[in-house]
Amino acid sequence: MTLGEIAGRTSATLTGDAGLAISGIASAANAKAAEIAFLDGDGKTPPTLSPHLKAVFANPAMKAFVPEGVAVLETPFPRHAHSVVASALFRPRHLTGYGAEPISSLAQIHPDAVVQPGAVIGPGAAIGEGAVIGPAAVIGAGVQIGCNTTIGANASIHCALVGDHVTVLAGARIGETGFGVLVGPSGAEDAPHFGRVIIQDHVTLGANSCVDRGVFEDTIIGERTKIDNLCQIAHNVILGRGVIVAAFGGISGSVRVGDGSMLGGRVGIADHVQVGERVSLAASAGLFRDVDSGETWGGTPAKPIRQWMREVAWLQKQANPKKSG
């Protein structure tokens, strides 16, 4: 699509070359020359911009941050306009239907793989040597499943690359859209997601856990990471190698967790938080800020463990004062 066509489709005011061709979408920080991005905000914080950015949707507050030579499509709803273009250019393959055959003739399945009854495997999917696909599991179009990987019953995997020796337990959901909500002319709308999930080797994902695909970039689960049952890993999260996430853990979008970190049961992490390597978060901790490598935190809001324990002890003392004389 040209910028002129995009302006007409989104009712945005174009400043720049109407003939510039756009073939992709991206975030402002990672956009390439033929990709369009968006800037949304109150205009108080300068955004990170790719040096290759050529076109961007922006609201009036953010327009001032757009460099000279970059085409601007001004609109009060830049992310909504961006999603309109995204939906016109792309559509996830698993939403188009696979036809009547449960196992597509266009899928590649190794002779030594096992596909249990009721499983659905989409076109372009590949199942590696020694893999086991459980009953009623769904392997979406283009999904790659590595060697000796086990997919449990009723699990579903879309928009994903899954490595070797991975265990996905029953009912897990990999590659669905995350909880991305944008503001449009008619109110709140779901943001489209066009990234993937990449699960590296020797990962375990517990029963009924969810790993959302990225919005533009990928959600990545590092090798030998172990995720318990009933956990939520949101879009664009990156978990390092050997991370442990206990049951009911909830990790919000764009969080980074370093190698070897351990998250206790019911830990919750707010979006865009950076967690260093070998960090320990006590059970039920609610983390809202970055944590340096090697630290142990607890409580809600989470803080260094010694500080949290002193505060708990002080509260107990105030609630149960010793009787005098």
For residues 304 and 176, state if they share a domain: yes
For residues 171 and 285, state if they share a domain: yes
The residue ranges of the chain whose pLDDT is under 50 are 324-325
Q: The domain spanning residue 302 has which CATH number?
A: 2.160.10.10
Domain boundary among the residues 38, 59, 89 is at 89
Instruction: Please tell me the pTM assigned to this model.
Output: 0.90
pLDDT of residue 325: 47
* Total structural domains within the chain: 2
pLDDT of residue 142: 95
User: CB of 111 within 8 A of CB of 45?
Assistant: no
DSSP H helical segments within the chain, as ranges?
3-10, 78-89, 305-319
Residue 12 lies in a domain: yes
CA distances from 258 to 275, 279, 282 (A): 6, 8, 16
Number of other CB atoms surrounding residue 186 within 10 Å: 8
One-letter identity of residue 121 = I
For residues 179 and 74, state if they share a domain: no
Which among 237, 240, 246, 297 is positioned nearest to 270, based on CA atoms?
237
For residues 78 and 214, state if they share a domain: no
Residue 215 lies in a domain: yes
For residues 199 and 301, state if they share a domain: yes
Write down the catalytic residue from 80, 82, 158, 235: 235
Q: Where are the beta strands (DSSP E) in 70-145?
A: 71-74, 108-109, 114-115, 120-121, 126-127, 132-133, 138-139, 144-145
Q: Per the omega criterion (within 30 degrees of 0), is the bond before 301 cis? A: yes
Q: Is position 235 annotated as part of the catalytic site?
A: yes
One-letter identity of residue 235 = H
For residues 193 and 81, state if they share a domain: no
For residues 218 and 299, state if they share a domain: yes
CA–CA gap between residue 279 and residue 293 (Å, rounded):
6
Domain boundary among the residues 50, 71, 89 is at 89
For residues 198 and 291, state if they share a domain: yes
Residue 94 lies in a domain: no
Domain boundary among the residues 89, 116, 132 is at 89
For residues 168 and 297, state if they share a domain: yes
257-262-268 Cα angle (round to 5): 70
pLDDT of residue 234: 97
pLDDT (tens digit, 9 = 90+) per residue, 287-323? Answer: 999 999 999 999 999 999 999 999 999 988 888 877 5
For residues 181 and 72, state if they share a domain: no
Q: The domain spanning residue 17 has which CATH number?
A: 3.40.1390.10
Name the CA dihedral angle for 114, 118, 120, 126, rounded to a multiple of 10 degrees.
0
The tokens describing 29, both together, are 């920080």
Per DSSP, the three-state class of 312 is: helix
Residue 131 lies in a domain: no
Residue 134 lies in a domain: no
For residues 177 and 71, state if they share a domain: no
pLDDT (tens digit, 9 = 90+) per residue, 160-182? Answer: 999 999 999 999 999 999 998 88
For residues 168 and 60, state if they share a domain: no
Q: Which domain holds residue 24?
A: 3-89
Which among 141, 166, 170 is positioned nearest to 154, based on CA atoms?
170
CA–CA gap between residue 226 and residue 135 (Å, rounded):
23
CA–CA gap between residue 297 and residue 307 (Å, rounded):
9
